[in-house]
Amino acid sequence: MKRVLTFVLVMVMSLAISLSASAATVNTENGTDSAAVKATYVPSPDVYSVEITWGALTYTYTQTWHTDTRTNTYAWASTQAGVADKITLANSSNVAVEAVLTWNEDVSIKGVEGAFLNDKLTMDAPEEGAEATTADTTLTLSGTPTTTNLNNTTVGTVTIKIAKANP
């Protein structure tokens, strides 16, 4: 407890010493005195605020039987192209940001690959008072999953890393 009180007392004394004041006396009628007023600009630190709007990220893996060749083909498709597969980012930060998107295959269902139209998005900081700057991309799936027992099954994840953009 003594250490805490000693620390507080030292801090108060330090502040009292650093707050210097000056005095002047005006001894004549209409006499004046002046003092310089000083200011220091303290800019805002970097503030990050990026809103991510995820599409549903839902896909179908469709089998099609071809009678002429008696074989199957398989195709991935978004359940609503341009909507369900879309990822939109809105930058309200006071700095330009870069978003790096990565696909991570699920550990239990192998063989599914994810690719982005753009896997790196750069957004300027918005002008003061203006709308957020935005960027978007879409996710496409491909590959052959280790099972066709897919019913709203997680086949992978998308990770977005936000960092300050290089000038």
pLDDT digits (tens, 9 = 90+) for 127-164: 999 999 999 999 999 999 999 999 999 999 999 999 99
Question: Alpha-carbon distance 61 to 140, whole Å?
Answer: 12
Question: Is 17's pLDDT higher than 60?
Answer: no
Check: CB of residue 92 under 8 Å from CB of residue 46: no
**pLDDT at 37 > cutoff 60:** yes
Q: What is the DSSP string of 67-130?
A: TTTTEEEEEEEETTTTTTTEEEEEE-SSS-EEEEEEEEE-SSS-SEEEEES-SEEEEPPPPTTS
50-164: in CATH 2.60.40: yes
* pTM for the predicted model, two decimal places: 0.77
**pLDDT tens per residue, range 41-82:** 999 999 999 999 999 999 999 999 999 999 999 999 999 999
Domain boundaries, the chain: 50-164
Q: Are strands 112-116 and 97-105 parallel, antiparallel or unpaired?
A: unpaired
**The one-letter amino acid at 24:** A
pLDDT of residue 47: 97
Instruction: Report DSSP state, residue 31.
Output: -
Q: What pLDDT is recorded for position 15? A: 53
